Amino acid sequence: GRVGWFRRFGVEDVEFEGRLAARPLDDVWLRASVGSTPSADFRPKIAVAAGGDVRISDGFQATLFSLDTSFQRFPSQDVFTIAPAVTQYIGDGRVWTTVRGIGIVPEGGDLE
């Protein structure tokens, strides 16, 4: 769990979040979170996220595919986010590079 205090332009929000993670298989990691800001001014009133990683090649040069999704209800609008990624480990696993795409769909809007 996490409690965060945020101050922006003289306005304060306190956000609460709970997270869960699981590794059901050797090559699969899953995660989920839920959060709330009871008196939200600029943080999400409600936030729900889920994601996971799958290792598609093993060893020091491992490759992972990740997918994260989230829904956030802000005071001004709802936002849905989807973020696929590929991570490639190199240099005997000591270095990695990640390519991530992020798609955001604001309430009543198109994918940006």
pTM: 0.79
| pLDDT tens digits for range 36-54 | 999 888 888 999 999 999 9
N-term to C-term CA, the chain: 31
pLDDT at 41: 84
17-43 average pLDDT score: 94
pLDDT band for position 112 (50/70/90)? low
| pLDDT tens digits for range 47-103 | 999 999 999 988 888 999 999 999 999 888 899 999 999 999 998 878 999 999 999
pLDDT at 91: 83
